[in-house]
Amino acid sequence: MYKPLPDSLTIKSSGIHDLGLFAKEDIPQGTNLGMTHLKIGDTIFRTPLGGFINHSEEPNCDKAELRMTSEDLQGHQYHYKKWNLITGQEIKKGRELTLKYTFYKV
């Protein structure tokens, strides 16, 4: 069954901007919460996880860049990048998750 967010997160009103991602339970430092963005060619796609995380100059999460290559049945290789959201510190239940934006202007 597809889930747009990990079980440990929810979307609520944010004091930073509109809606944001919030912890439904304590989340340990170093937890990989999943993919936020995918870049194919020059186009960046946001996942629900990437679409609701708000900017902070003092973020509690980081993006981990993964460079990927896949091959089709004819042997053509395709290169793309994806970014996963990693907690940079323990996130307490009820706290908003934040990230320092690098793809968009604040």
Angle at 29 between CA 3 and CA 93, to 5 degrees: 65
Residue 41: pLDDT band (50, 70, 90) is confident
Answer whether 40's CB lies under 8 Å from 80's CB. yes
Q: Where are the domains of the chain?
A: 9-99
Answer yes or no: CATH 2.170.270.10 is held by domain 9-99.
yes
Q: pTM score, two decimals?
A: 0.86
What pLDDT is attached to residue 12? 97
Q: Which amino acid is at 78?
A: Y
pLDDT tier at 7 (50, 70, 90 boundaries)?
A: very high
What's the rounded mean pLDDT across residues 62-75? 87
Instruction: Answer whether residue 104 shows pLDDT above 80.
Output: no
